[in-house]
Structure 1
Amino acid sequence: MDKRTGLIVKATGGFYYVQADGVLHECRARGLFRKEGVSPLVGDRVELEPTGEASGYVTAILPRKNALVRPPLANVDTFVIVASVSDPAPNALVIDKLMAIACHKEIRPMLVITKSDLGGPDALEEIYRTVGIPVFAVSRQSDEGLEEIRAALSHGISAFSGNTGVGKSSLLNRIDGRLSIATGETSRKLGRGRHTTRHVELYPIGEDGWIADTPGFSAVDLERYEIIRKEELAGCFPEFAEFSGNCRFTGCSHTVEKGCAVLEALREGKIHPSRHASYRALYEDAKKLKEWELKDPQEKK
């Protein structure tokens, strides 16, 4: 039986579009996935059984290294968080939630600051360069920084996320003009953009890179689908790692304790106050989680 291995680059209407051997196959999934309660995701490496020149069935999902529920995407290498200087104004807590989720899933976070023509990106750059992640600033009036972003995305699968209206789709179109992803104007009345991306789809870039444009998220979705326990949260703030092992007491929450090395680093300016404020807010939220909320999101459906 002829079987091939490929990558799911799009999923919509019960069909999975699998890139294999230079051909895009329109596939259905075998019934066994429903029985096992598993669904193929965009980004999955799969085995397919061709039934025609460009059609077939997905018969197996190869092992995943990670998966996101919202957006539904697997095997992500880089999580690109997009924030704008203004219109809409940046929300540090939302940025830090996204960054924590990326770190929790062992995905490399990257920050792109858009609309730098509306104001200086220095304040955001100052916060996130101390985290030790790639940070890029781009203007709508020049192409400066775009080539560096292209290079950073040229290998593996990259997911884009950020508040609606920050310019994710516009940025992707500028990174690669072949994409032609639909964009929406920012609503002046509401101060936010219209949702323009309706499904997750991978687009090729560079040598062996794929980029995904994803629907605008909400903080509610983040809290519901990508839960981080309070005990795991400090590990999702990379700049804490150098200090958290030196706290006086085991199980330190890094919020109020005497002898906390993280709080000492904060006082010494080695950890940015904005980041620690986000950590404390997320920690307080995590403390309120009920046991049923900590179950795998797939079990709650």
Structure 2
Amino acid sequence: MPARKREYDEDDVRIRPGRSSRPRTRTRPKHSDAVDALVITVDRGRYGCVREDAPAEDDIITAMRARELGRKSVVVGDRVALVGDTSAAPGALARIVRIAERTSVLRRTADDDDTTPEGRLERVVVANADQLVIVSALADPPPRTGFIDRCLVAAYDAGIEPLLCLTKADLAGPEQVLDYYAELDLPHVLVKPDSDLTDVRRRLAGRISVMVGHSGVGKSTLVNRLVPDALRAVGRVSAIGKGRHTSTSAVALRLPGRKGKQGWIIDTPGIRSFGLAHVSAESLLHGFPDLVEGTLEDQPNCEHTTNDTGCTLDAWVAAGKADPRRLESYRRLLTSRAGDDGSMA
């Protein structure tokens, strides 16, 4: 006798829930007991951190990035939350579980050897800086306005206030450089080997300042004068990198002073170029505020290069309303953006 065919109804159908509808079996910890800290150095997956309200002589907490952060980058100047062993004891290792929202990001386009098929990499130099201190010698080596212009563009693009620091003022006067930037009302300080640094300290107090400058301009000498303990502090940092020479690594140093008014300086000796390929043409113009008004009545779609016939910037400069050297520098940066070599000339 043939077997009877079974009939099915809705009670026999079992529907497996979709992957997205499954209840999560794991909840991420809130880390309510995390310790707030400032990242002062980064070296091959290890981050040196200190509590901002701790004494200047407090030891550095070595940390690694927690997996839950994903691909979020951690840079010098980041304010982070730490869990795990935050004792700063030898061999102790904490974890960075949160990165606070950044108030500013100073970027640069990387060097020629840091390229991808899509183009040159954009690198974050530091986070949460308030001020970019552009260190330039007045002689030996002579001042390079091209370098200063690049730094100003980067500062304005990041929303960071610039401060021009002119060193070796005992060898030459600042008139030529200050005249070049006369229309910008650019804040500046003069430094001699034996000069009093009260004005410099006042401008750095209570702020996070990034210092950039060419080799030989006296930046390291200035850092050591501002932070007498700088060499020892850098030595402590190099222990994180297991002996790596820290002269090519950015490091944040706490300035001496009253608690809450101390401030930080971030030395960036590893930055030998400041590419601006990541900066839009419009933002680039903001680095030349003395030229902005000259473009207000320009022809539509004018790119302000030497190839744009009738660019009003030419008439603006011819009328003596801006320094022709400033227009030349602006156009040179415009031309170099597509294949920016990061030159600091």
What is the TM-score of this pair, normalised by structure 2? 0.70
Q: Distance in 2 between matches of 1:218 and 1:284?
A: 21
Paired amino acid for 1:93:
G
Residue 83 of structure 1 aligns to a residue whose secondary structure is strand
Residue 150 of structure 1 aligns to a residue whose secondary structure is helix
Unpaired stretches in structure 2, ≥5 consecutive residues? 1-30, 109-122, 234-244, 341-345
Which one has the bigger strand percentage?
1
Is 1:198 equivalent to 2:248 in the alignment? Answer: yes
Cα shift at 1:30: 1.0
Q: Distance in 1 between matches of 2:323 and 2:270?
A: 27
Number of the residue aligned with 2:136: 83
Is 1:209 equivalent to 2:263 in the alignment? Answer: yes
Q: Distance in 2 between matches of 1:112 and 1:209?
A: 17
Cα shift at 1:208: 4.3
The 1:268/1:154 distance shift into structure 2, 3 A limit, reads farther
User: Which whole-Å deviations, capped at 9, do the CAs of 1:10-67 have from their partners, x for residues lacking one?
Assistant: 223432222225254221211234xx32221110011111425235211111111314
Map 1:277-292 → 2, pairs under 5 A:
277-286=328-337
The 1:248/1:10 distance shift into structure 2, 3 A limit, reads closer
Q: Distance in 2 between matches of 1:5 and 1:143?
A: 37
Number of the residue aligned with 1:68: 107
User: Which whole-Å deviations, capped at 9, do the CAs of 1:48-102 have from their partners, x for residues lacking one?
Assistant: 1142523521111111131435673111111111111222222221221121111
Q: Give the one of 172, 189, 207 matched to 1:119.
A: 172
Q: Distance in 2 between matches of 1:273 and 1:158?
A: 31
Q: Distance in 1 between matches of 2:174 and 2:246?
A: 25
Cα shift at 1:264: 3.7
Q: Distance in 1 between matches of 2:221 and 2:246?
A: 11
Q: Distance in 2 between matches of 1:75 and 1:249?
A: 38
Unpaired stretches in structure 1, ≥5 consecutive residues? 183-194, 290-301
Q: Is the 8 A contact 1:4 1:49 kept in 2?
A: yes
Map 1:152-171 → 2, pairs under 5 A:
152-171=203-222
Percent of pairs identical after alignment?
31
Cα shift at 1:243: 3.8
Residue 104 of structure 1 aligns to a residue whose secondary structure is helix
Q: Is the 8 A contact 1:92 1:274 kept in 2?
A: no
Residue 247 of structure 2 aligns to a residue whose secondary structure is coil
Q: Distance in 2 between matches of 1:59 and 1:115?
A: 45
Q: Give the one of 262, 270, 288 matched to 1:237.
A: 288
Number of the residue aligned with 1:103: 156
Is 1:26 equivalent to 2:76 in the alignment? Answer: no
The 1:172/1:128 distance shift into structure 2, 3 A limit, reads farther
Cα shift at 1:212: 0.8
Cα shift at 1:123: 0.5
Q: Number of residues paired by the alignment?
A: 270
